[in-house]
Amino acid sequence: MPNILLTRIDQRLIHGQVATQWNSHVGANLLLVANDAVAADTFRQGLMNMAAPSSVQTRYFTIQKTINVIHKASPKQFIFIICDNPADVVKLVEGGVPIDKVNIGNMHMAEGKRQVATSVAVDDADVAAFKRLQELGVKLSIQRVPTIPEEDLEKLWK
């Protein structure tokens, strides 16, 4: 069973907050970005590698590759998965990736979305994905950084 310490939804993927505050908080030695577009974009990977701590490995896998290889992870790998959106997390869980908790951290405001928390904007598809994750037994939390309290999860459903 892979050692998945946390899965975070953050549209910025690997950046300062994830690399320093969140990674220090969870103690991962592997940052795994599960995102189809970034898996094929070496330029973006390079930018994210610059933000990642030098003591931590990074991997950029498609959603399907993550599903295919996560169970081959070494017991010495302490994995922090970062996804762009809740639909991708649903695909991972339904594909057999043993995710039991998801931190909802940063989902940008865009057309058709509504702001529901400090740094979280959702549309109906996002809400449906979060409900599906709960049905699958995944614990959800809204928290921008680990040093501030979690926000009320009920904000997602309003």
Q: What's at 13, amino acid-wise? A: L
Question: Rounded CA gap, 25 and 47, in Å?
Answer: 22
Whether residue 6 is predicted with pLDDT greater than 90 in this model: the reply is: yes
In this prediction, residue 101 has a pLDDT band, given cuts at 50, 70 and 90, of: very high
Catalytic residue chosen out of the listed positions 15, 25, 71, 108:
15
Q: Which domain holds residue 90?
A: 3-157
pTM comes to 0.96
Whether residue 19 is predicted with pLDDT greater than 90 in this model: the reply is: no
Model pLDDT, residue 134: 97
Residue 35 φ/ψ, nearest 5 degrees: -160, 125
Q: Is 25 a catalytic residue?
A: no
Whether residue 20 is predicted with pLDDT greater than 90 in this model: the reply is: no
Look up the CATH number of the domain holding residue 21: 3.40.35.10
State how many domains the chain has: 1
Question: Rounded CA gap, 88 and 55, in Å?
Answer: 27
